[in-house]
Amino acid sequence: MRKYTIALLLSLVLLALLPIHTQAQWASQTMLSDQMQYYAHKEPGSKLFVHFDKTIYTNNETVWFTGYLLNLRSSAARLHEFLSVALIRAIDSAVIIQEKYQIINGLAFGSMVLPDSMLTGNYHFQVTTNLVSRGIPELSFAQPLVIKTNIEPSFKASLKLLQTGTLGKSPHKILVSVLSREARFLPKPVAISYNYGQLRKKATTNASGELIIDIPETENITDPNVYTKLKYGKDSSYLNLPLPVSKRKAHVGFYPEGGNLIHNLPCKVAWELKDQQGAVVTSKALLYGGTELIDTIETNSYGIGKFILVPQKDITYQIKLLHTAFTDSSYVIPQAAENGLSISFSTGIPTDTLVFRLNSTNPGKVALRLHDFRATYIYNELSISNTPSNIKIPLGDIPPGLKTLTLSDSLGRPLAERLLYAHYENKQKVQISTERQSYGQREKVKLRLNLNQPDTIALVSIACVQENRLPSSITTDIESYTKLTNELTDLAAAPDGRGVGDRQYLEDILLVKGWRRYSWQHILQASPADTLKSYDSLPLRLQISRYGKPLKSAVELGIMSAGGLSFKKSGPTGDVQFDNSELLIAPGSKIQAIVMGKNQDTYGMELNDPFVKLNKDYTKLITAQRTVIPSTIQNNTELTLKSNEKVNRLREVEIRAGGDQTLNYKHGANECGDYVCRFNILNCRNHLSDPGNRHPIPGQTYTNGLGGGIIVYQLCKDEERRRFIMPLTPIYTKKEFYVDAHAEPLEPAFESTLYWNHGLILGRATKELEFYTGDITGKFRIVVQGMSTTDVLYGQYTIEVKAK
């Protein structure tokens, strides 16, 4: 075994204590520092994270969330005025609902009620701010979620593979079966559309509610799922089923530590194994040098393995997979270079000191830079020999998180590079406790929160949620996202669901993802012009017309909201532009513009909200990373809540006689924007957003809230909609969560979110909070996350609710 002479370079031990640029630098290295500054202005590293109370919802459920804008300069923070939150359906990228929420000092607190008519399946929240440059959002965040239903489907549908086909010979045969909720034949056929790869077809079921689909296998298909949409009347269901692949291909990546294999220098090599779908594969393999068997290696549960190699430049190294599912089994490792240098870390997640070994085939001079592509934290020029050296670098006040160690030549070209996580500490920054861990139904829970040192103050959001509403495959946290997921792409799912909390997972990921989503090419493309950034003007606009033509003079608008009536003048041609501050209203209320004065019926208005188009365009730019392949949904009852987790809902209630006749009315405003308040006034200005408002009934007599007097309401038709009244897109302020004590025993309590709190400040003293369990039994997870004096923080705790 080769013996190495270990030389401790004392100057490098003190490296972190020296100011950057204290030594004469090569001109190219100075240029790189300048380029980093330009890049930092172009891509400042600001992040948007949104804490949603859970990631599995049902239709008509309330979503609670807190938006955190992180790493913002104070001047930039003031420019972010609202969050735009859009719910996107995964199967067709349709925008289901979109709303805006006020940002104050980099924080946004919001809630959104999901539509009752939502189809079950995979969705994601697409979140941006009002700052947009050339159509690209300054900050963005995507949260995958699943929508289940608390209503039994109107029909039962399932997919089943009847016969496995053979590539180029016979097709797969899939049976689609549809019956009524009562397991009877439906009186009419069900319309079915399906797609597999590039294949897209439509068909209908037979009299027995069945359809057999023939699907020829497609070679090298990246997604072998067949996706179906079943439509019967007004109801639809989406199902999907993965089909067998006869020729499965493996994707194998090799990642030598430092970047390259160097002749006769020992190197740690990570390797990653996935299939053509991107799913990780656990497998063993034989490692060969030429024809000689060197070792048997294997990948772990997230598809990553490691081995040590002392490569020789004239030998071809390869692995042969011991996995029968793949057509190809041999994969060649990149050839070793004759000369170069390599680095070997003792650990990629150092606490306070970075220790590594430096090997080189040739003596010379190199530049060492510890950085994050935006700022250089340590820089020095080293004279190296062909004798291996152990180097220690105190990390000092370097911010925690992902950093890169780069060794480069006199021209600034990287010779070796390694990713690390500085100041790694796997400990919870907030202590969470309750007086006990087991509770009965409808019992009070006393929650205590304490900050761990050195943090002295924190601002957090808190959720207590049914644990099965937080699957690890689609749930993220502020630590994992800001420190890992947002910095690196295409990460395999961590065994514990988080990643940052798993030391071995983090070590392996840092080896495989040695090259980050940005590279030196991005740095070198930055320029001084990038320090000046302009943003698109995207105000909410109204265009007023009269008799369908532009105005010749300005008109006065009344802006009605729950806060009262204000006035605003249009431009001479009828154009109106709103400041964001003019659109702020409380959640659940409405805001609308009305042309004031005489002859109102001669005016019309068109609303232009640029974020309607932007949110649709963003679906092509912003993708929700899912750490697993699409989930299989073979039966449409799989996404229905269990009976002990929901209230039995009546599909239709009709009251024909009796006491309070307001139960017969639909609440709110109708499609024409007309409503009647509790005092029987049509379009009452004093009760614009009152929850007691109801739809007017054609033929009924009301007091006219706009012009006075008595009016007989006529049938509301789209072509007769009042064009001089226009609902505006609001920006919602925060809404407080109501803690229900469930004092009424006959009132059901099937809330999956028992508690939510946002903007809570934690200090040195213990913070005590109270909430109540409901009727749902099982485990509930308490999640606390937010920002502290030193960094972001995350903590979780579990309680259990047992039946009485």
Lowest-pLDDT range of 106-115, 172-181, 406-415: 406-415
- Residue 457: what pLDDT? 95
Mean pLDDT of 596-600: 89
**At residue 72, does pLDDT exceed 60?**
yes
Q: Which domains does the chain have, with CATH numbers?
A: 7-42+352-415 (no CATH), 165-242 (2.60.40.10), 261-332 (no CATH), 540-578+590-609+656-729 (no CATH)
Q: Which whole number is the average pLDDT over 181-200?
A: 94
Q: Tell me how far apart the alpha carbons of residues 782 and 776 are, in angstroms, rounded to a whole number.
A: 15
Pairing of strands 401-408, 364-371: antiparallel
Peptide bond into 394 cis (omega under 30): no
Residue 717 has what pLDDT? Answer: 62
Kindly report which listed range (438-442, 490-494, 705-709, 790-794) carries the lowest average pLDDT score: 705-709
Q: Is residue 685 very low, low, confident or very high in pLDDT (cuts 50, 70, 90)?
A: low
Q: List the alpha helices (DSSP H) in 593-640.
A: 610-618
Handedness of CA 404, 405, 411, 413 (dihedral sign): negative
Band (16; pLDDT cuts 50, 70, 90): very low
pLDDT at 386: 86
Lowest mean pLDDT among 545-559, 561-575, 668-682, 683-697: 683-697
Q: Give the pLDDT confidence of 456-471 residue by residue, as tens digits.
A: 999 999 999 999 999 9
Per-residue pLDDT at 657 = 39
pLDDT at 709: 79
- Position 230 scores a pLDDT of 94
Q: How confident is the model at residue 134 (pLDDT cuts 50, 70, 90)?
A: very high
What pLDDT, on a 0 to 100 scale, did the predictor assign at position 342? 92
pLDDT band at 59 (very low <50, low <70, confident <90, very high): confident
Please give the helix or strand (H or E) that residue 761 lies within, else none.
Answer: strand 753-762
Using alpha carbons, select from 270, 290, 272, 289 the residue that is nearest to residue 281.
272
- Using CA atoms in the order 321, 324, 325, 328, what is the torsion angle rounded to 10 degrees? 50
Q: Which of 99, 76, 88, 45 is nearest to 590 (CA)?
A: 99
CB neighbours of residue 405 within 10 Å: 22
Residue 614 phi, psi (nearest 5): -60, -45
Q: In the structure encoding, which two tokens stand for residue 342, read together? A: 């390599």
Residue 11 pLDDT class (50, 70, 90 cuts): very low
- Give pLDDT, residue 689: 58
Alpha carbon distance 12, 10 (integer Å): 5
Candidate from 21-35, 165-179, 413-427, 448-462 with smallest mean pLDDT: 21-35
> In the predicted model, what is the mean pLDDT of the chain?
87
In angstroms, the CA 53 to CA 761 distance is 18
**CB 667: neighbour CB atoms within 10 A?**
12
Digit-coded pLDDT (tens) for 368-397: 999 988 889 999 998 998 889 899 999 999
Q: Kindly give, in sequence order, each residue whose CB lies less than 8 Å from that of residue 289, ignoring residues fewer than 6 positions away.
A: 312, 315, 316, 317
Rg (CA), the chain: 31
- Residue 707 has what pLDDT? 64
Is the pLDDT higher at 677 or at 662?
A: 677
What is the per-residue pLDDT for 721?
56
Burial of 282 (0-12, 13-18, 19+ CB in 10 A): middle
CA dihedral 407, 412, 415, 419 (to 10 degrees): 50
Reported as type and span, the H/E element at residue 558 is strand 556-561
pLDDT of 310 strictly over 70? yes
- Helix, strand, coil share of the chain (percent; to 5): 10, 45, 45
Report whether pLDDT(583) > 80. Answer: yes
Are residues 310 and 295 in contact, defined by beta-carbon separation less than 8 angstroms?
Answer: no
pTM of the model: 0.84
Q: Residue 161 above 80 pLDDT?
A: yes
| pLDDT value, residue 76 | 83
**Residue in the structure block whose two tokens are 């656990």:** 282
Which comes out higher in pLDDT, residue 45 or 228?
228
Question: pLDDT tier at 653 (50, 70, 90 boundaries)?
Answer: very low
pLDDT band, very low/low/confident/very high, at 434 (cuts 50, 70, 90): very high
For residue 522, name the pLDDT band (cuts at 50, 70, 90).
low
What pLDDT score was predicted for residue 257?
95
Burial category of 738 from C-beta neighbours within 10 Å (exposed 0-12, middle 13-18, buried 19 and up): exposed
pLDDT reported for residue 688:
60
The percent of residues in the chain predicted with pLDDT above 70, rounded, is 87
Q: Average of pLDDT values for 778-795?
A: 95
**pLDDT confidence bin for 713, thresholds 50/70/90:** confident
- Amino acid occupying residue 783: V
Q: What's the DSSP call for residue 170?
A: B
Contact yes or no for 538/556 (Cβ under 8 A): no
- Rounded average pLDDT over 708-736: 81
pLDDT band at 650 (very low <50, low <70, confident <90, very high): very low
Query: For residue 82, what pLDDT is reported?
Result: 98
Cα gap 281→556, rounded to integer Å: 66
pLDDT at 69 over 90: yes
